[in-house]
Amino acid sequence: MKLAPLFLLCLAALPAPAAVNFRTQLWPLLAKNCVDCHRAPHKDPSGKLVEPKGRLRLDGAALILKGGSEGDAVVAGDPDKSSLYQRILLPPDHEDVMPPKGKGKMFSFDDSELLKQWIIEGASFGDWKGLDDGPPAALKKPAPKAADPLSAGATAAPEAAKEAVRQLGALVTPVMADSPLLRVEWISGASQITDLQIDLLAPLAGSLAELDLSDTKITDAALASIAKLPRLTWLNLNNTAVSDAGVAHLKTLTNLSYLNLHSTNVSDAALTSLAPLRKLRQVYLWKTRVTPSQAATFAKSIPDLKVTID
């Protein structure tokens, strides 16, 4: 038997490496480190209008592709021509480095590699749209009838409720253009958020679908309130003090598909509480007390569930 064809067959059977997912892997990095300065014109606390820096907005797919005052920020397939990538690579004291010197945390090596890989793969945003300038009001089409029951039954959050959450330093955005569903995350100041503030999310229960509480100071008590946000599909609790007792509350979140418990105090008992959440597809358990064997058993107990433990 010839060896070469067999070898080729084996190669063909290898799964292709997963493409970088903008929504889950890159957007959180941009939201945290860049969007504060590169977002829609807004008023600062003194009432002064603040324009996006370098006329570049990074809070929407179309806006990222539009580029800034120096032209393209992203050239699909070409990291060398993509200033978005080039600027984060500059030495920390370079005058053009992003975020500017002393104005935020630089991308780690792994994160910059991720951004580079995403550009090489064609800079696809997948289903992520973020914000856009929108067509003029008169041309605005009515929101498309959403096929999924989650958006269909969603109620637009009261402006005052959204504003109250923004006052806590959160970024409150639609999960997709024209969607009534909301995403809440902290670009900065996450460490100021404690259980006390979590109750302010309750008025958003009709529309809150994605919630990033990573690096906040919440404890198990907050998860009792979060359990009353039935539309949550995406929840990030990375690097918080939550434990098994808190996770036990989450069994009401039957729409949850992404749950990040990386660097928390959870153990195997948490997995028992998560068993009824049949829509879970991704669970992160790195740096927890969950044992690899229980993680593996759990992964097999829900169809298409991917559990990451290391």
Which residue ranges make up the site for ligand HEC (CB under 6 A)?
33-34, 36-38, 53-54, 56, 67-70, 73, 83-84, 87-88, 96, 98-100, 103-104, 107
Closest distance to ligand HEC from the beta carbon of 99 (Å): 4
Nearer to ligand HEC, 20 or 84 (CB): 84
Beta strands in the chain (DSSP E): 42-43, 49-50, 170-174, 182-186, 208-212, 234-236, 258-260, 282-284, 306-308
- In the complex with ligand HEC, the residue whose CB is nearer, 103 or 278, is 103
Closer CB to ligand HEC, 36 or 244, in the complex: 36
Nearer to ligand HEC, 55 or 166 (CB): 55
CB of 27 to ligand HEC, least distance (A): 12
CB of 92 to ligand HEC, least distance (A): 12
Beta strand pairing status for 170-174 and 182-186? Answer: antiparallel
The residue among 69 and 293 lying less far from ligand HEC, judged by its C-beta, is: 69
* Shortest CB 211 distance to ligand HEC, Å: 22
The two structure tokens encoding residue 276: 């009824």
The 10 Å CB-count burial string (b at 16+, else e) for 54-86 is bebbbbbbebbebbbeeebbbbeeebeebbbbe
Three-state secondary-structure class, residue 245: helix
CA quadruple 300, 303, 304, 310: dihedral sign: negative
Q: For residues 119 and 237, which CB has a smaller minimum distance to ligand HEC in the complex?
A: 119
Query: Considering the complex, what minimum distance in angstroms separates the CB of residue 221 from ligand HEC?
Result: 33
C-alpha pair distances (Å), 165 with each of 161, 173, 246:
7, 11, 22
Q: For residues 223 and 232, is the Cβ–Cβ distance under 8 A? A: no
Question: Taking the complex as a whole, how short is the minimal distance between the CB of residue 130 and ligand HEC, in angstroms?
Answer: 14
Q: Whose Cβ is closer to ligand HEC: residue 98's or residue 309's? A: 98
CB of 289 to ligand HEC, least distance (A): 33
Complete edge-to-edge strand list for the sheet that includes strand 306-308: 170-174, 182-186, 208-212, 234-236, 258-260, 282-284, 306-308
